[in-house]
Structure formats: C-alpha cells, structure tokens
Amino acid sequence: MIKVEKLVKSFHSGDSELVALKGMSFEVPRGQFLSVTGRSGSGKSTLLYQLGLLDDPNSGNVIIDGIPVFELNAREKTQFRLERLGYVFQDYALLPELSSLENVMLPLLMMGFTKAVAKEKSAQALTKVGLGDKLPNLPSQLSGGQQQRVSIARAIAHNPQIIFADEPTANLDTETADAVLKTFEELHREGQTIIMVTHEEEYSRRTDRVITLSDGEIVSDILQKK
C-alpha cells in the first residue's frame, strides 16, 4: 500500500520558482496497475521520481507499507530501493559493458545472493520477458524493445513490491511497445504493483486506474473496468 500525502515539489530557475507538484495526495493499493498521464510538464515524471525515492520533495510524505520513506537516510533509501522497488526507465538505462544477464544480476548481487543464484534468478526473469536466448548479449547487440525488456527483467528479478516505469514505451515502435505492455500486464496478473508514467492514452487505458495530472495537480483519478 502506497500513501501519498500532500506532496509538494518545486524547482528554482533563477529567481523564479516552478511548482511541479502542488500538494498531491492519493493512495495506491497493493497489486494495482496505475498509470499516470498528463501533458509534458504536468509533473508526472516528477511524481514518479518522488515515489521511487530518486528525489526528495519539498514537503509532504510518501508512506510505503507503513514506512515514511523520506525519513530514511540516504543509505537506507538506497537499501529500500534495492529491496522493494524496481525501475524501468524510458531509455532502458542498461550498463553497456554488461551483458543482459549481468545487467539483471546487479541488484541481486547487491542483495547478497551468490553469483550462481543471481544468475539463475536473472535467467528466469529474462526468460519471463521472452529473452531467454539473449543472456550473453550486450545491450548494443539488442533492439530497443529487447533492451527495454532487459530493463523490465532487471526490475522484476528481485521480486520488488512496486515497479516504477517511466514512459517505458516512449522510444519503441507500436508493435514493440505493445509487447512491453503485455509484459507489464502479465506481471500485474501475478499480483505485481505497477506505477507507470505514460503520455499515450492507448496504453493508459489498459491499466486499472488512470491518474491524470495537469500543472502539478490531479485533474482526474479514474478506476477502469477492463
């Protein structure tokens, strides 16, 4: 369960201040597939960064499973991200010198799994996203869609509570984007909580719930029947 309380985030640019999140509050129950939409500059990515502990808000709080996450120190936040959160970035964010398998192994190794176990779990995750035959490939040897699926495998390999996806289909063609979304849908069916930022209505329609932002505020929050 994620509880967002009066979240405020502003940026300074010279003398002017841009308020990206204006006291936002909402809750996300466990197992929900939530999409956050809105126009460019509406604050959707900023919201995702706050929820994913990649950035600190000016005020407000995010409570994940009872833990006020912004009260954690930097080291604890890192550990929290490692153990409980998974990220899928718009540009895949894979390490170029590591193979698909090694990229997925990283969080597992940091969690203390042995190399053998990390390899096994990573291979399973990659197989799950349809890349069981691409384990030794470097990112440069994969297509955009395949790289994004490696990124998803890395996000799910350690069984996080929540997956955050920032415009995961933005750089993909329609067919590949559809495949990526299907992967998310499958994960969701298995009970995974997913929060996805997207500006594409076609994909947000396929989620449980759509929160639409405008100028840092929630303008609509719709539960969808699929």
Partner 1 sequence: MNQSKYRTGKISFKERIKHTVISIKLGFFLALKQLSRSNKWTTVLIIFIMTLTFLNLVVVSGILVGLIEGSVNAVKTRYLSDVIVSTLDEKNYIKNSPFVINVAKSLPWAERTSSRYLGSGTVEANYKTRIKDTDKVNSVGTIIAGINPDDEDVVTGIKSLIVEGQYLTATDYDQVLLGHNLLKKYLPIESPGFSTLSDVEVGDKVRIEINGNVREVYVKGILKSKVDEVSRRVFMTDTQLRGLLGRSDYNVNEISILLKPGSDPVVARDAMLASGVGQYAKVQTFEEGVPKFLKDIKDTFAILGNVISSIGLVVASITIFIVIFINAITRRKYIGILKGIGIHSTAIEFAYIVQSLFYAIMGTLIGVVFLFGFLKPYVGLHPIDFPFSDGILVATISGVLIRSGILFIATLIAGYIPAKIVVKQNTLDAILGR
18 binds partner 1, rule: CB under 8 A: no
Q: In whole angstroms, how close is the CB of 22 to partner 1 at the nearest point?
A: 20
Backbone φ and ψ of 151, nearest 5°: -60, -40
CB of 163 to partner 1, least distance (A): 12
| Pairing of β 33-38 and β 2-13 | unpaired
Checking phi first, is residue 146 left (phi over 0); if not, alpha (psi -120 to 50) or beta?
Answer: alpha
CA distances from 202 to 51, 134, 174, 207, 223 (A): 24, 29, 10, 10, 15
**One residue of 54, 117, 135, 170 binding partner 1 per CB under 8 A:** 54
- 11 φ/ψ angles, rounded to the nearest 5 degrees: -120, 145
- Alpha-carbon separation of residue 148 from 36, 71, 164, 204 (angstroms): 19, 32, 13, 18
Site for partner 1 in 59-118 (CB under 8 A): 65-67, 69, 71-73, 75-76, 78-83, 85, 87, 89, 93, 95-98, 102, 106-107, 109-112
Query: What character string, x for contact with partner 1 (CB under 8 A) and - otherwise, covers 137-176?
Result: -x---------------x----------------------
Q: Which residues bind partner 1 (CB under 8 A)?
A: 49, 52, 54-55, 65-67, 69, 71-73, 75-76, 78-83, 85, 87, 89, 93, 95-98, 102, 106-107, 109-112, 138, 154
